[in-house]
């Protein structure tokens, strides 16, 4: 697929979300599989190069960049994986940011069908144990700002990270664009993890 044109109003986050979701839904099965292999391979390489012992990683669903294979491979290699917990275990959503320890054989279906760890939920402050944080996004820009599905969950969660822990947004290569609309509470990321590799953003790099 070619690089997407921006929406008619480039300052409209909702328009960016619609565009991003439509683009992902248009991917063929072959395109999805190729990207999945790239994310897994480069994700493992990037985490290994970082020396991280603990990684925070969202668990994907539907057309999102696939993280389930990456999570399983990191677990196999002995890396501890923290994943978001969005329910109380009885199907009711929780507003507070919570984390669970990922284990491939201990997952349940959470809010909106999102997989989540079925073990004991941990407080938002547990994110401070993560050496690398990989978050969801529909888009990321050169300055490191991202547009997600809305709701601000990760913006709230990232307030608890360690200052030295890099944050990577998992997006497709052409979902890294020149500029996105941003709000005062948006938290910038350090890089985009794409199927072609890790792309530094913000002061640490730029995208041509």
Q: Is 126 a known ligand-binding residue?
A: no
Q: Is 149 a known ligand-binding residue?
A: yes
Task: Specify whether the CB–CB gap between 74 and 81 falls below 8 A.
Answer: yes
What residue spans of the chain are helical by DSSP H? 13-25, 29-50, 68-76, 153-157
Q: Is 14 a known ligand-binding residue?
A: yes
Q: Is 46 a known ligand-binding residue?
A: no
Q: Is 148 a known ligand-binding residue?
A: yes
Task: Specify whether the CB–CB gap between 4 and 19 falls below 8 A.
Answer: yes
Q: Is 68 a known ligand-binding residue?
A: no
Enumerate the β-bridge partners of residue 170: 136, 193
Q: Is 17 a known ligand-binding residue?
A: yes
| Cα 131 from Cα 45, distance rounded (Å) | 15
Q: Is 152 a known ligand-binding residue?
A: yes
C-alpha triplet 7, 11, 12: angle, nearest 5°: 65
Q: Is 147 a known ligand-binding residue?
A: yes
Q: Is 13 a known ligand-binding residue?
A: yes
Q: Is 204 a known ligand-binding residue?
A: no
Q: Is 16 a known ligand-binding residue?
A: yes
Binding-site residue numbers are: 13-17, 59, 64, 146-154
Binding residues for substrate: 59, 64
- Which residues are annotated as part of the binding site for ATP? 13-17, 146-154
């Amino acid at each position: 697929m070619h690089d997407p044109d921006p929406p008619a109003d480039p300052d409209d986050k909702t328009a960016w979300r619609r565009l991003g979701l439509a683009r992902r839904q248009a991917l063929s099965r072959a395109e999805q599989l190729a990207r999945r292999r790239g994310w897994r391979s480069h994700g493992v390489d990037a985490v290994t190069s970082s020396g991280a012992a603990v990684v925070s990683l969202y668990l994907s669903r539907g057309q999102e960049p696939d993280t389930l294979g990456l999570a399983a491979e990191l677990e196999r290699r002995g890396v501890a994986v923290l994943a978001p917990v969005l329910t109380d275990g009885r199907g009711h959503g929780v507003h507070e940011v919570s984390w669970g320890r990922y284990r491939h054989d201990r997952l349940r279906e959470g809010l909106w069908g999102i997989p989540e760890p079925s073990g004991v939920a941990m407080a938002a402050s547990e994110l401070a144990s993560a050496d690398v944080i990989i978050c969801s996004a529909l888009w990321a820009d050169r300055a490191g700002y991202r547009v997600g599905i809305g709701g601000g969950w990760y913006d709230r969660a990232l307030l608890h990270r360690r200052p030295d822990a890099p944050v990577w947004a998992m997006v497709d290569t052409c979902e890294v664009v020149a500029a996105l609309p941003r709000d005062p509470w948006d938290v910038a990321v350090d890089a985009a993890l794409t199927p072609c590799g890790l792309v530094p953003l913000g002061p640490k790099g730029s995208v041509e």
